[in-house]
Amino acid sequence: MQAGHGAGHDAGHNGVMSETTSGTSKGTSLPSGEAGLLARILPHLSQGPAVEVGPGDDAAVVHLPSDRLVVTTDTLVEGHDFLPGTSHPLWIGHKAAVQNLADVAAMGARPLALVVSVSAPADTPPLAFEQLSTALAERAGADGASIVGGDLGRAPQLTITVTAMGALAPGDAPILRSGARPGDVLTIGTEQLGRSAAGLALVLAGHVRIAQDRSVQGRPRPLLHDLEDPLAGEVVIWHNAPEPDLSLGWTGGRAATAMMDLSDGLGRDGSRIAAASGVDLHLDRAALEHDVRRLAPLAAALELDPWQWVLHGGEEHALLATFPPDRVPAGFRPIGTVHAPLDHRSPQITLDGDPLPGDGWDHFA
């Protein structure tokens, strides 16, 4: 962990890190600069056996089980990727870990190490840094990875960039998006799609506030206004801290012909596999009706379409994979089939034969 050399000046701040933890630093002394922050953060970062040099030097040194490094990076920005007052540092850290671990798992590789860059306003409570670090380290550790280094700096709003690294086992090739073949089965590695989108809908409709939390590891809980549906709390937590089974990627998922994690919705991500593999994907409506039915009462209360959540909801981070029909492993359930595209037509994704309505998410559209 180290810090840059800034040219800037301070501005006022009212972000998630101060709102959700305001008052929590009472009774504890403020940190004396970076050294004080690091003294709070570093004890939460236990180092696995693969780590030769952890935080504290110019760079970390990690022993890989093979020479094939797998690496991915993703950023969460307050006000864009989560809204002030509707998430919590423990969830933000969890989500930042999951979305990166999922990308490593989607290559059929096992995560080993993460580095984390956190930029935050100067008045961010030290407890928030500690909670963020604890959650990152716990979620990474659950999949066998260590936080081996990072960077602390200032920004007008909380910004977290995680880079996750893993390695393929010796002799293993990466599972790409381009390997789906006609005759394969399209599957998803979750029992319930659409929860993250449902949670986002509750956040955007103003139903969600997060209960204050005064301990480092106490679980935050959502306070919901004007909603009776018992599913509401579950989907808000899933949106803020999704918990897909990522180990499917480096276990059963190794048999996949193509694999990716669901970041931008079934429609958009499915189209990516279709385009990369040069195939059509046919989604089976009956296979998704279970997912829709469970979310339907909540969607009705919001006057929204649950099919939109299931077909186009992003940030599930479950694994979307294709397998030969006789090789679908436990944990993946069939939701469609893979076909050769019709002549002279670009690869596409359909639902019971019709073009998929709607679209996923584009940051710069």
Cβ 279 to its own copies, closest distance in Å? 16
Q: What is the DSSP letter of 57?
A: B
- Residues with Cβ within 8 Å of residue 158, at least 6 apart in sequence: 15, 16, 17, 77, 78, 92, 118, 119, 120, 121, 124
**Shorter beta-carbon distance to its own copies: residue 276 or 287:** 276
Closest CA to 64 of 150, 165, 149: 165
* Choice between 29 and 286, CB closer to its own copies: 29
Nearer to its own copies, 174 or 357 (CB): 174
Q: Cβ 136 to its own copies, closest distance in Å?
A: 13
Q: Which of 57, 170, 163, 188 is nearest to 112 (CA)?
A: 163
CA atoms within 13 A on the CB side of 106: 29
CB closer to its own copies, 141 vs 285:
141
| CB 3 to its own copies: min, Å | 4
Q: How far is the CB of 201 from its own copies (least distance, A)?
A: 10
Question: Which of 6, 353 has the CB closer to its own copies?
Answer: 6
Residue closer to its own copies by CB (options 260, 335) is 260
What letter would DSSP give residue 134? H
Please report where in the chains the tokens 């040194």 appear, as a residue: 61
Nearest distance from C-beta of residue 174 to its own copies, angstroms? 5
Cα 362 from Cα 302, distance rounded (Å) = 23
C-alpha dihedral, 155 to 81 to 92 to 53, nearest 10°: -60
Q: Shortest approach of its own copies to residue 286 CB, angstroms?
A: 27
